[in-house]
Amino acid sequence: MASTAKQKIWDFYNIKPGAPIFKKEFGYYVLDRWIGEGYLKPRSEVADYDKYLRELFDYDEPMVHNLGGLGWCEAAFIPAFEEKILEDRGDCELVQDFAGRALLCFKGRRQGFMPEYVDHPVKDMKTFEENVKWRLAVEAPGRMAGEAKAALAAKAAREDGKVVVQQTIGGYMYLRSLIGPEDLLYAFYDDPELIHACMKAWLELADAVVAEHQKVVDLDELFLAEDICYNGGCLISPDMMREFLFPYYQQLIENTRKRNGGRTLHIQIDTDGRADGVIDLYRGIGMDYMSPFEVAAGCDIVGVSQKYPDLRLSGGIDKRKIAEGGDAVKRHLEAILPPLRKRGGFIPTCDHGVPEETSFENYMLYRKLMKEYCD
């Protein structure tokens, strides 16, 4: 009898050797192209577009239920900053986004490209307290209003056999969104008091929201959206990680486990870039799941799987090979899928969003091959 999506997701977490592989995708940047070419129905014609794509591309029914309330690539501000145009620059405009950053965008267009980040809301302790800290207050009006309801939905999902995951912005991504990628690196040296103040606010909010959820449902996973690496490795030193991030992570993890009713709590770190140099560091605070292992940055998911047989892995499929198609993607999957299925504990996905240059024909070839390896 064919394995159900429920069996497959729990076999993944249990790292069951040889089990059928759970099938999902990381995301897409190519859908508008495929819609325009007539391969996909327009979004306006489909009530549930995610379901439509799952059925078309042979993905499993979602078996992870995500709890939020703690941000993603930006902090969970209440209230958010006012979104407004700061300056007209002809073909471009300088805008303030919901996270308080000044972004240079094409006029009238905010999505589908990487804007230039011109400014960030935190410069020093004064601007942190005036612009940001109060927006992270646990007692902010409406902060907890929806979290009890969200926890009830998660409890119902658990009863259906789904994995319950608490998502939160990781410390590095959080600090970067407040201070800016370059200024943050100086701040670690020049203003460590500011960094600790920011992280104390991060921990206070995260612990309170997680505790609210755990009043109703135990968690299976704590997911930290970190993005701490680039194509050359980690963006900050191990000593910086140990000083400015890990004490807060360890406290949140310890508190969450104490409240979790004895249920196993997995820790996932999600970071783009070359991640092999930080695996041991994160394992030291309990990480047992990592994603998405970008091949273009030098990640070797087969090598990582052999070195860390108890580490759950997701991602690892080269977006460039999917776009190339033909023998290139066949050879790529042949090198990865057989040894990873034999090992277990692997969910293959494109190592980021499926890129716009991917033809529909090449993606369908990829899906056909993946079905042969996964089922």
Parallel, antiparallel or unpaired: strands 64-67 and 116-119: unpaired
Q: Return the biggest CA–CA distance within the chain.
A: 63
How confident is the model over 87-133, as pLDDT tens digits? Answer: 988 888 999 999 999 999 887 766 656 788 999 999 999 999 999 99
Give the per-residue pLDDT at 217: 97
Give the per-residue pLDDT at 168: 97
Cβ-count burial of 61 within 10 angstroms (0-12 exposed, 13-18 middle, 19+ buried)? middle
How confident is the model over 215-240, as pLDDT tens digits? Answer: 999 999 999 999 999 999 999 999 99
Query: CA–CA distance from 287 to each of 246, 249, 276 (Å)?
Result: 12, 11, 13
How confident is the model over 295-313, as pLDDT tens digits? Answer: 999 999 999 999 999 999 9
From 348, 365, 333, 311, select the one nearest 21 (Cα to Cα): 348
DSSP 124-136: SHHHIIIIIGGGG
First-to-last C-alpha distance (Å) of the chain: 11
For CA atoms 112, 116, 122, 127, the dihedral sign is: negative
d(CA 231, CA 252): 29
Give the per-residue pLDDT at 113: 65
Q: Are 221 and 165 in contact (CB under 8 A)?
A: yes
Give the per-residue pLDDT at 47: 96
Where does 112-271 show beta strands of DSSP type E? 116-119, 163-169, 221-225, 229-230, 233-234, 266-271
Structure tokens at 313: 């892995």
From 294, 296, 176, select the one nearest 228 (Cα to Cα): 176
How confident is the model over 146-170, as pLDDT tens digits? Answer: 898 999 999 999 999 999 999 999 9
Give the per-residue pLDDT at 162: 97
Q: Are 290 and 251 in contact (CB under 8 A)?
A: no
